[in-house]
Structure 1
């Protein structure tokens, strides 16, 4: 094979279906689009400005007019925020410490006073704690004022069985056990 057969001369590519744009983008159409867009934005801004003025006037009409003679400040409801919580804590602690370590009246007309905590503890040791006059000693596991049928131990108020007994021999303490009676004699 020779080299002459494989060489080709370049030929211009012709494709009649593909063409290029003969003119530029029409500037008039772009200008019209931009002017319309700006006019729309301006119109929306005017509508919102008018709505703002209308709503502002309505809000001013509905505001409560306070008398200029009122001088008391309006305090928000509790709980209020603390500006400096540590200072408030120190102030409360100082007030409580002062009350615990001083004498003072609780109710002067009734003759009720408070005394320092140290003195109160001394008096309690000297005099003892008050006891109700009707208080009686309760057996272990019983609470005052409760019937003996209410046992507060872990058995739940059930008597233990005797050795060799069955579960049917459990008798709750809170249920009275009926005693057998002799049948009534018929006449």
Structure 2
């Protein structure tokens, strides 16, 4: 087990070493001389394992696993093609409406937004500076904002006191 602060290396780094060992063993380059004994080896005092991993078997197992993965992928793709092919064949053909290209309508944009902004501002200015009744019974009225601010500030409605106005009579119908 490695210390916790040492990063772990990938297991794929062993593949070239395993393949190199397999090649060396097959060619006989890495074999011991015929007269060498276990005790004469310089690493015998460290008491290492005296048997190696069977590199040939390991390579065959790895190739078998890779082959199994490839066969499985091919089988899934073949089944997918078969099953979906039968399902697609069982579907009715598409109608002309289903195959026609859909073109969305053009967006409803303002042709000249600045004219619309000016008209809205003119309408708001007319509402703020004009008199109008707010209801059909004529019980509530709207006055210009400047006049409303003057009344709120305490200025009298008529700046000069004058004679009281005569009450007018309603016109006869």
TM-score (norm 1): 0.32
Where is the helix percentage greater, Structure 1 or Structure 2? 2
Higher relative contact order (CA 8 A, sep 6+): 2
TM-score (norm 2): 0.34
